[in-house]
Amino acid sequence: MVEHFQKKQLIQDSRLMFHQGDVPAPLARSVRREGVLMPLIATGGTNPVVLDGYRRLSLLADEDVVPIHVMKDRKAALRATVELNMLVSPYSEMEKAGIVVFVREACWMEDREILDTLLSRLGLKGQQVVLNNCMAVRLLDSKLFEVLSVRKAPLKFAVKLSREPLDEQLTLAELFTTCKLSMSQMVQAYDLLIPVRKRENAVFSKVIEGLDREGGDVLALLRQKRFPQATGIRKELNSLLRRYRGRLKFPEDLEGDAFGFSCLLKCPEDAREYVAMLREISEDDALFHFLAEHVGND
């Protein structure tokens, strides 16, 4: 049943604000121009508890009147909320985990019901392991949780970070935020930090403090820390091949003894130029000795 309430009559629960991040611009324009057209979903009586529609609600004043689909059965209301949003504005994996955490901690559903009905509605494949992974987000530092939520991090990555001590989590949150890393860059930074921490027997903060932050971007600096030998090899090789820059494509990173480069032929006539260039490279004594030392004589 759809009823109308002033915003101030509604009960808002931050635990039910599953969608993270800013309100999408098209939605904001629509609400400001037309008001709330689609009823919000809520459960309860004279002061319903809002389940769906918090982003739209945030754009309204306390006196504004809102259409509310009030449902007495809170489980049915939750299912309707999930199904509607998975169709219209699908939850990220972090948001899905937040839903599972709330439902379990608020005792809205037993584990068996979560496994049998809720996970499938959320598009989460798996059983007990997936439920455990969702619950693991409770172990995240609040700042790190916020960063991961905004970046729509994969649940598996969040679970990895949840196993870190809280002080390490806080360091990661500060690094991700201050360096404005994208989701893929966050994964790269963490994967580089792990072996460096182990090798140096130091916490993340000490590893990061040891970086020359004025000398380049943090990922490049962490790669230098992670692969010190390859960094030296790359610098020497770059010096030897500097004159060919722009004509050859070099790998971004060198690991161990691996090296390769390639060229792109835009037209058949380019072949002669590149053949001559490759012959010139093959006859370069300095380059030959470098490759013989680091790669082999083949």
Residue range 136-159: mean pLDDT, rounded: 94
How would residue 254 be classed by pLDDT, with cut points 50, 70 and 90?
Answer: very low
pLDDT band at 35 (very low <50, low <70, confident <90, very high): confident
Q: How far apart are CA 164 and CA 142, in angstroms?
A: 13
pLDDT at 165 over 80: yes
pLDDT at res. 274: 73
**Higher pLDDT pick, 182 / 247:** 182
What is the tens place of the pLDDT at every residue in 199-217? 999 999 999 998 876 656 8
Alpha carbon dihedral 65, 67, 70, 75, in 10-degree steps, equals -110
- Mean pLDDT calculated for residue range 184-207: 95
Write down the pLDDT at residue 169: 97
pTM for this entry: 0.73
Cα–Cα distance for residue pair 118/115, rounded to 1 Å: 6
Tell me the per-residue pLDDT of 264-283, one tens digit each, with 9 for 90 and over.
667 777 777 777 777 777 77
**pLDDT of 211:** 86
- 245: DSSP letter: B
Tokens 């004589």 belong to residue? 297
Return the higher-pLDDT residue of 249 and 53: 53
The CA distance from 119 to 230, in Å, is 45
Q: Above pLDDT 70, what percent of the chain? A: 83
Averaged pLDDT for residues 94-104: 94
Confidence band for 223, pLDDT divided at 50, 70 and 90: confident
Number of CB atoms found within 10 A of residue 124's CB: 21
pLDDT, residue 284, reads 74
The whole-number pLDDT of residue 256 equals: 42
| Residue 257 predicted with pLDDT over 50 | no
pLDDT for 125 equals: 82
Q: What is the average pLDDT across 223-229?
A: 80
Residue 130's pLDDT band, with cuts at 50, 70 and 90, is very high
Q: Using alpha carbons, select from 254, 250, 253, 252 the residue that is nearest to residue 264.
A: 250
